[in-house]
Chain A
Amino acid sequence: GENVEQHPSTLSVQEGDSAVIKCTYSDSASNYFPWYKQELGKRPQLIIDIRSNVGEKKDQRIAVTLNKTAKHFSLHITETQPEDSAVYFCAAESVSGGSYIPTFGRGTSLIVHP
């Protein structure tokens, strides 16, 4: 099955700095890579995603890059704000026998200091 590694586990930045979270995956057949944000005590929510036919996608202060050859993808947050503080999860969706199964990384706790 798919295996997703995520680093770092904790990331502390000053407001206005950039933050980068990196993930690697093992299944070369995976073709969908979403990122979820989970605030304390709340459910995970999608913030951005990318498919394997695209190398980069941006949405305002958030961008995701994908390197299929190396099997890694990254989340970039620019001009961080205190409300960006949360746990971020990457995921890779593998497809097998008609099943679409997202496998999650262990999460990165982002702390943005005012």
Chain B
Amino acid sequence: DTGVSQNPRHKITKRGQNVTFRCDPISEHNRLYWYRQTLGQGPEFLTYFQNEAQLEKSRLLSDRFSAERPKGSFSTLEIQRTEQGDSAMYLCASSLAGTTGELFFGEGSRLTVL
């Protein structure tokens, strides 16, 4: 296992288009998080899954944002009708319940909306 992987690493899109990011967590990890990071800021929490259940989604930035984790393994984050303000790094992290609580981050998916 090589850790948390995210795809694509970079995405350039035009305003109004839909984009989808994928996260593959460490295989035995049951918790999965999505964060957004803009330049000079800390990771901003978006949503959280434990296994396939989305336990917290109230902080998704708008109803244009949605996330799934259909089989409790990989997750997708979709942004519909992208806006220039959506340009950011989208980070995925995973952890294993009952252990230290350490988050293992992916390298992120950078979104640029033109």
Interfacial residues, chain A to chain B (CB-CB below 8 A): 1, 4, 6, 32, 34, 36, 42-46, 49, 89, 93, 97-107
Number of interface residues of B (CB under 8 A): 24
Given contacts A44-B91, A106-B41, 13 further A-B contacts (CB under 8 A): A6-B42, A34-B102, A42-B107, A43-B108, A46-B103, A49-B101, A89-B42, A98-B50, A99-B50, A99-B55, A99-B56, A101-B45, A106-B40
Q: Which 10 A-B pairs have the closest CB atoms?
A: A104-B42, A43-B105, A99-B55, A46-B102, A104-B43, A99-B56, A32-B101, A106-B42, A107-B42, A89-B42
Contacts of A45 in B (CB 8 A): 105
Minimum C-beta distance from B92 to chain A (A): 10
Interface centre among B33, B56, B97, B108 (most CB of A within 10 A): B56
**Majority DSSP secondary structure for residues of B touching A:** loop
Docked complex: B25-76 residues within 8 A CB-CB of A: 31, 33, 35, 40-45, 48, 50, 55-56, 59
Q: Which residue on A lies nearest to B101, using beta carbons? A: A32
Known A-B contacts A43-B106, A49-B101, A99-B48; A89 and B43 likewise in contact (beta carbons under 8 Å): yes
Decide if B45 touches A100 in the complex (CB within 8 Å): no
Contact A93 B101 (CB under 8 A): yes
Identify the B interface with A (CB < 8 A): 31, 33, 35, 40-45, 48, 50, 55-56, 59, 91, 97, 100-103, 105-108
Majority-rule SS of A interface residues: strand
